[in-house]
Amino acid sequence: MTLKVVPINTLTATRRKILHAAYKCAAKTGFNNLDVDEIALKAGVTRKTLYSYFNGLENLLSELAVSGIYWPTTEELLANAPSEFPEVEPEKQVAAFFTALRRTLETRPDTLRLLAWEMLERTQLSELLEDVRVRTALEFFEHMTPDVPDDVDLAAAVAILGGAISYLSIRSLNTKHYGGVSLQDEVGWDRMEAAMQGMLKGLLCLKPETLD
């Protein structure tokens, strides 16, 4: 019997095609109605082929989460941060994270749709995508060099700002202005990013008594 050799690059292309199909289908239908057969149809493969690559939706969503398709990698976020990132003040480093995140999410409208679905449908599948967002943020902030004051709850600040950026980015899909600020051009986003940096400066700047 002659063995059929399948080139590695073909396997990679098929795997990625299935991941993209899952991404598109989830953005359209949400998590509760996500269907393996619909994903296979969109990917142009059989159900059997899909299962040969991914043993079910949980495995498929787990790989989608870390693929860089759904959520930007730490490397992509750092590439969108200023070149002087490692040397700038803490408030500018935190602001750089959210600025880079917003810009990378702008290129992923289906991720914004998935974030909107997540507000409505909390499932085991949605939690798989949430986990990678937390890990990516932690990895990014490991590159922060200046110390943050001990009395600052950085995790809470990041949660508040992350929620704001996610919400406003989702709203930008079908809203031109929010609170009188444009969501459709860089002028509006520059205003919000400047305000964010000002708030972070007030939170993260060292207090005079700590400067001995």
Whether 106 is in a domain gets the answer yes
2 falls in which pLDDT band (50, 70, 90)? very low
206 falls in which pLDDT band (50, 70, 90)? low
Whether 175 is in a domain gets the answer yes
pLDDT in tens, 78-108: 888 888 777 777 788 888 889 999 999 999 9
56 with 150, same domain: the answer is: no
61 with 82, same domain: the answer is: no
Question: What is residue 208's predicted lDDT score, i.e. its pLDDT?
Answer: 44
Q: Which residues of 19-29 are buried (b: 16+ CB within 10 A; e: fewer)?
A: bbbbbbbbbee
Distance of CA 172 to the CA centre of its chain: 16
Task: Give the mean pLDDT of the chain.
Answer: 86
- Identify the domain containing residue 135 by its residue range: 74-205
The residue from 50, 66, 82 where one domain ends is 66
121 with 191, same domain: the answer is: yes
100 with 187, same domain: the answer is: yes
What is the domain-level CATH number for residue 135?
A: 1.10.357
What is the distance between the alpha carbons of residues 102 and 23, in angstroms, rounded to a whole number? 19
143 falls in which pLDDT band (50, 70, 90)? confident
105 with 177, same domain: the answer is: yes
CB atoms inside a 10 Å sphere around CB 188: 19
Whether 18 is in a domain gets the answer yes
How would you class 208 by CB atoms within 10 Å of its CB: exposed for 0-12, middle for 13-18, buried for 19 or more? exposed
123 with 53, same domain: the answer is: no
Whether 2 is in a domain gets the answer no
How would you class 171 by CB atoms within 10 Å of its CB: exposed for 0-12, middle for 13-18, buried for 19 or more? middle
16 with 78, same domain: the answer is: no
pLDDT in tens, 150-186: 788 888 888 898 899 999 999 999 999 999 999 999 9
48 with 101, same domain: the answer is: no
47 with 112, same domain: the answer is: no
Token digits for 89?
């003040």
Whether 36 is in a domain gets the answer yes
The residue from 18, 48, 66 where one domain ends is 66
For the cut 60, the answer to whether the pLDDT of residue 210 exceeds it is: no
Site of tokens 């490991």: 142
What is the domain-level CATH number for residue 56?
A: 1.10.10.60
The residue from 66, 85, 106 where one domain ends is 66
Instruction: Please count the structural domains in the chain.
Output: 2
113 falls in which pLDDT band (50, 70, 90)? very high
112 with 176, same domain: the answer is: yes
What is the distance between the alpha carbons of residues 91 and 197, in angstroms, rounded to a whole number? 6
The residues pairing with 182 across neighbouring beta strands, listed in sequence order, are 177
